[in-house]
Amino acid sequence: MSLRPAPRLGSPYARHAFSSACANARALALLLAFAWPSVANASPQDRGDASKIARRAARIADARARGSARAGDMLTKLPPEELASARALRGLRAWLESGGAANAIGVDRVVEAQRAVASSADVEEAVERLELARLVGSSIAELRTRANDLLSRQAEDGAFPASRQIEKDLRVDDAALTARALWALKGGLGPQLEAAVEQRALDYLLRAQRADGGVGASGASNGAATAASAAIWMRCAASTPDSARREKLLRAIDRAERWLRASDRFDQNPGARADAFAWLVDHARATKILLWPADPTRSASHDRDLFLAEFQLLDAGWNRSASMNDVMGGGGMPTAAGQRGVAIQIAFDFDDTASAVLALHARVLPTPAELELALRRRLGAASALPPSASWDELAEMLRLQQKVAVPILLEQLEHQEQLIRRCADHLLRAITGEDFGFVPNRRRDDARNAEALRAWREWWKK
């Protein structure tokens, strides 16, 4: 058993870690409360899956709490000359997204230093600064200033291109950066974003979709560009009044999601060298807005959050240079030499740790229009449904927006496909805590189910 150093209880990031751990424990308790009643009467295989799901949830909750504490610690220990750096900017975003306070002792100096930076060096930094302005509750004027800094960098073809000073193989894909820029602009400006800017960026991304369904500006599809594009396509599809445009975007999403499902290895950015950890933030954002929960019965290499939990270092951070064999293999911790038994452990990397924390704490609360479109798409056909082991996680995604979700789920109780009725029934019971005796595998014209559906609708009217 490895002994992990605990942060000092008096430090602000330790208090935040304790608070995060409590929140994660409550979330885990809710998950078990809904899942456990069915476990006692389940088959041995189902009980094994339930136990695996519970262990997964505990591992991820622990990784989130420890990673958040590490993000706070990174910021409090930054030397003065780095407070306004782009590296500190991403670390600050990770801290705030994970629930940290902007006025925490030692972090407030980073916030002030970042707000004092007048303009960004490139598109990537401009995106980060606009996201930060939104996180710290900046004024409309400040948001507009940050947005204008980013808007000034849009090329004639609609792209928000990466700096050409970076080596090509290590450069962020222009399509990934364009999708991230449009996401930040939609979040920062909302309906005030000019339609022409949005249209040009969307057209660029649609042109960047390859024949295999993935997205890549350089010609080859890659995970970061595909996930980031799918996320912003859903956001824009839900807000456009143009039905033809909406259908075009939804078709692009279908193709992109199929590509992502076929390339769901998280130890690298599929199809590219750059963005090895940063792409996981794009993937997390896409899965949240597309209502695409992870399959908790799969191995860590195919489960984003579990992969990050398993890959976390002894110091609670992450480093892409660590040996995957050491982290996920025979039980040793990763070392500087990539071999077990070496005395000096490899230390966390600032950028990799910030990206990992951002992915684990991705906060994407779809608007009612986005949720309705995504849920109808997810329940539109049995082939679009997530595995049944993922339904409890899908319910968690819907729990905060019952006013939108429940009417749609009630409609799906009458769907002709039994699997969709099963899913809708499960989700309804999970997010409301109610059960009116609906049995999905009965005939659709069964009087008992008709009575149960009437009871559901009467209850919802109240």
pLDDT tens-digit profile of 186-217? 988 887 889 999 999 999 999 999 999 999 99
User: Can you tell me whether residue 442 is helix, strand or coil?
Assistant: coil
Read off the pLDDT of residues 118-176 as tens digits, 9 standing for 90 and up: 989 999 999 999 999 999 989 999 999 999 999 999 999 999 998 776 666 667 899 99
Q: How far is CA 362 from the centre of its chain?
A: 4
| Mean pLDDT rounded to a whole number for the chain | 85
**Which pLDDT does position 46 carry in this prediction?**
52
Mean pLDDT of 49-53: 78
Beta bridge partners of 222: 215
**Which pLDDT does position 291 carry in this prediction?**
96
Mean pLDDT of 175-191: 92
Read off the pLDDT of residues 353-407 as tens digits, 9 standing for 90 and up: 999 999 999 988 899 999 999 999 999 999 999 999 999 999 999 998 999 999 9
**Which pLDDT does position 272 carry in this prediction?**
83
Nearest CA among 225, 90, 92 for reference residue 171: 225
Confidence grade of residue 11 (pLDDT, cut at 50, 70, 90): very low
Confidence grade of residue 28 (pLDDT, cut at 50, 70, 90): very low
Confidence grade of residue 337 (pLDDT, cut at 50, 70, 90): very low
Other CB atoms within 10 A of residue 192 CB: 11
* Domain spans in the chain, listed from the N-terminal domain onward: 379-461
- Residues near 318 by beta carbon (within 8 Å), at least 6 away in sequence: 67, 277, 308, 311, 312, 348, 349, 352, 353, 355, 356
Confidence grade of residue 414 (pLDDT, cut at 50, 70, 90): very high
Q: What burial class does residue 217 get, using C-beta atoms within 10 Å of its C-beta: 0-12 exposed, 13-18 middle, 19+ buried?
A: buried
**Which pLDDT does position 302 carry in this prediction?**
84
